[in-house]
Structure 1
């Protein structure tokens, strides 16, 4: 399988000068010095307000180990993303109207996403950390949303308007606002995928998520396969129940599921599972199990319904994958085995919510209430459920959809170390296998 993509759109959007595509001066350049403060960027004069920060944003100044430097600062410096944050805060402080701030939030969010993709795909050489690393994008975004929360505006800014600005910045920095098939796609199969932010940061701030790394590797790519070309668009989802309640999954995938010429040929949500396995999940469950998200929020019960997208009249308890799982298994990818993963937990008909009535078995029974799918009852399961419930609501019956859980990573033994050659090789192997599986699924007709 060979892979290539057009660089012109990316180069023009980010403003990068490279050997193959040169526009104007680079929007952001490699910083010449080291970190300037614990957060990795100099303080902006307009961002010292008393804004209420999220748990994620409060982690910005935390070190990997006691007495060490901020983990966020290390990631920004290692990727050369410090000036991305500084450019945003400089423009923020120069703005004089709400309309200006709204525009720059969208512009800088999209530029951050495009820079992260360009760096991941080797279009620009920036920083010293491995180009497969997904973590700098996560920490740069948090620096920028924190700046908006603490922004001391020279005009009246209500709490609702401030939160809306954060929303604009967050969504645009995840690829959601730039989903578009290439004009020269021709007869290529069109695939949209999603990955996730890093998570479990209370356990370790250096956690990476290979699904997010995969999304950065694939956005805008054209994959040449024996069965024809595949073009890919990708996004990265937050690990937060609140964002899912607001419809982030539907807002992303809805763009390629509505009727019309832009409808995708296949959709796939991707996330990280346990070590050494690649699972095509057979079922998505209409269930939230209560595990904490990146802001330490917990939710238990059925998956909420967004009011601004079509939905089935009754949300099904179970949605079965329609991905071409056998073609993915037969593709012969490695290093990890690929399987169709079954096994669910349910309340048999009429027994919900009795705790002792929960039963686990291969497949759902008639009339049961979902407790968890083979992929669990956390946000990965929900990403599959939401995207495919929407697919049903939009009557995109001819668009296969489902979820791929990919292998977790092994980290350096020293908890103070961000990365190592072994860790980077491991992540690259997982991501490259995932790319091959996306190509195999997308090429199946």
Structure 2
């Protein structure tokens, strides 16, 4: 049985707003995302009264005014309202406009970002009832955060004397609304095995604005929960990572996992990064590669080459080309979860020693060869691979040898045939099945780690 954590701070009970105000509709995007609309022009999104009309939004923020195919209300507003988050976003925008100093704005952003995260977790776990959309839905959190980010980025306030102040506000909002600032362990189960996981935001939004990410939905289901297992209690803390190379370069993965990999009272017993893979499979990745590439990120950036090194966290002197999982994958496979098969996924691409970057020398094999240069891991070279690589490179840098770590790829989803609808019962059942199996796999891994602890009764 899973025991919910008491909220770290008051979970907002979201009242209905007379008019839904999504602050993200602050600017009209210069170009619609491919496939985003095939009908009439979108309804104009509400405009913040304190927005600078010359503000340049990110690509992610510029999607806030786009509708689903068929036109009409922006998809972002539909998701935010469907979860009952419109009051929270509107209140944030109004109070941000009224802030009279950097200190006041900072306090507001910090509190509101944490409130958004806490409310999303409480709603996902059934402790707060709001809106009409399925509680497993991860998309309202993404769109509400993006709307709040756009409000901060476009804020026209006389007290902003330096652009670094705005960047500080954006950083506070990002870390609090992703759960990164609030990873902490409950006093109610001091002997519980401690697990920290990460999921991801939705992505590939140029293909469809209604994309969901079951890894992010799993993070919302697991954050703060203590699960009873035959080996004893397992407590999980969770964060949701962005799908952006720039955020990774600035150390968002290390900021999420670093505090629980240090020696001390906050140390975790296991870490696991989680993301979405192909349909109908659950893969424990055997290797992480020191390589980045793959599709463009949510801001349409694309990167190739080795994984960058953040300046504010310790790293091995030389970044390893390959890092092998230390997750208890045998126990995860043996747990008998369903509906999808679980396997240890091998298979890498590399340049054998001394051949990089000769394109003709690139080869693929089950496992790396000595001295090779990484091309891609079994899970590819996108940000999912990079989340495993960064978190476990940091684990090495902090000498947390006794903390198992690795990556779980979970099944992709099947969406409603009608592209103008947000959801339907079949889609919700499919996502719940993937998320519930993910929760079961995290639980099985935590139980296996607990069973292997020195002095364990099992």
Query: TM-score, normalised on structure 2?
Result: 0.92
Aligned to 2:29: none
Aligned to 2:47: 43
Aligned to 1:390: 394
**1:67 offset after TM fit, Å?**
2.4
**1:185 offset after TM fit, Å?**
2.2
Larger deviation, residues 202-211 vs 68-77: 68-77
3-state SS in 1 of match to 2:49: coil
3-state SS in 2 of match to 1:223: strand
**How far apart in 1 are the matches of 2:23 and 2:141?**
19
3-state SS in 2 of match to 1:234: strand
Residues 1:164 and 2:168 aligned together: yes
Residues 1:207 and 2:211 aligned together: yes
**How far apart in 2 are the matches of 1:74 and 1:60?**
10
**How far apart in 1 are the matches of 2:429 and 2:146?**
27
**1:216 offset after TM fit, Å?**
0.4
Q: Deviations over 1:88-131 (max 9, x none)?
A: 11111111011111111111001100010010000011000000
**1:192 offset after TM fit, Å?**
0.1
Residues 1:29 and 2:25 aligned together: no
Residues 1:4 and 2:27 aligned together: no
3-state SS in 1 of match to 2:172: helix
Aligned to 1:20: none
Q: Deviations over 1:359-408 (max 9, x none)?
A: 00100000000000000000000000000000000000000000000000
Q: Deviations over 1:313-340 (max 9, x none)?
A: 1000000000000000000100000000
3-state SS in 2 of match to 1:319: strand
Of 314, 329, 338, which residue of structure 1 is paired with 2:333? 329
8 Å CA contact 2:24, 2:150 repeated in 1: no
Change (3 A) 1:33 1:275: same
Aligned to 2:177: 173
Aligned to 2:437: 433
8 Å CA contact 2:290, 2:322 repeated in 1: yes
Of 226, 242, 246, which residue of structure 1 is paired with 2:246? 242
Query: TM-score, normalised on structure 1?
Result: 0.94
**1:291 offset after TM fit, Å?**
2.4
Calculate the aligned-residue CA RMSD, in Å.
Answer: 1.6
**How far apart in 1 are the matches of 2:157 and 2:225?**
39
Residues 1:145 and 2:149 aligned together: yes
Aligned to 1:102: 106
**How far apart in 1 are the matches of 2:261 and 2:48?**
41
1:116-131 alignment to 2 at 5 Å?
116-131=120-135
**How far apart in 2 are the matches of 1:114 and 1:200?**
26
**How far apart in 2 are the matches of 1:36 and 1:94?**
17
Of 343, 347, 350, which residue of structure 1 is paired with 2:347? 343
What are the ranges of 5 or more consecutive residues in structure 1 without an aligned counterpart?
17-25
Aligned to 2:10: 14
What are the ranges of 5 or more consecutive residues in structure 2 without an aligned counterpart?
26-43, 453-458
Aligned to 1:187: 191
8 Å CA contact 1:266, 1:442 repeated in 2: yes
Aligned length: 431
Change (3 A) 1:38 1:307: closer
Of 55, 62, 66, which residue of structure 2 is paired with 1:58? 62
Change (3 A) 1:33 1:95: closer
Q: Deviations over 1:172-192 (max 9, x none)?
A: 100000110111222110000
**1:154 offset after TM fit, Å?**
2.9
Q: Deviations over 1:195-245 (max 9, x none)?
A: 000000000000000000000000000111111110010000000000000
**How far apart in 1 are the matches of 2:73 and 2:23?**
9
Q: Deviations over 1:1-52 (max 9, x none)?
A: x211233x34xx1344xxxxxxxxx4x3244666789949753321244211
Change (3 A) 1:59 1:85: same
